[in-house]
Amino acid sequence: MEDQERPFIITALCLIGWTGLLSSFARDMSEGFDDVADWYPPFLVLSTFFMAVCVFGFWRMRRWAVYAFTGFYVIYFPVMLLLFGYWHPGSVIAKCVCIAILFAHFGKMD
């Protein structure tokens, strides 16, 4: 797919995604994991890697990336809520808006 065929909103989501991934990577490499479960730091690293793959898929306008991103968050939010009691409405709303935008442009993807 040619770059000029990618809608501006998808390009903006990708740029926001890459920025968020850079901050996530910095967080994942920090020393603040002493008071969490042993499995949580590897989970964060793997989820950051998975999101990087999804953002690359969005950039390339691939449908599999939309499915993967949606599926990940269908699993991720209940895990965060049930295991940690952590749930932030802003985060859920932001992800739902992203998913809605991606599905709105789904027909343009390969």
- DSSP state, residue 55: H
Q: How far apart are CA 97 and CA 110, in angstroms?
A: 21
Question: For residue range 6-44, what is the model confidence (pLDDT) as tens digits?
Answer: 999 999 999 999 998 888 766 656 666 556 677 777 877
pLDDT over 60 (residue 4) = no
DSSP-assigned letters across all residues of 59-97:
HTT-HHHHHHHHHHHHHHHHHHHHHH----HHHHHHHHH
Full-model pTM: 0.80
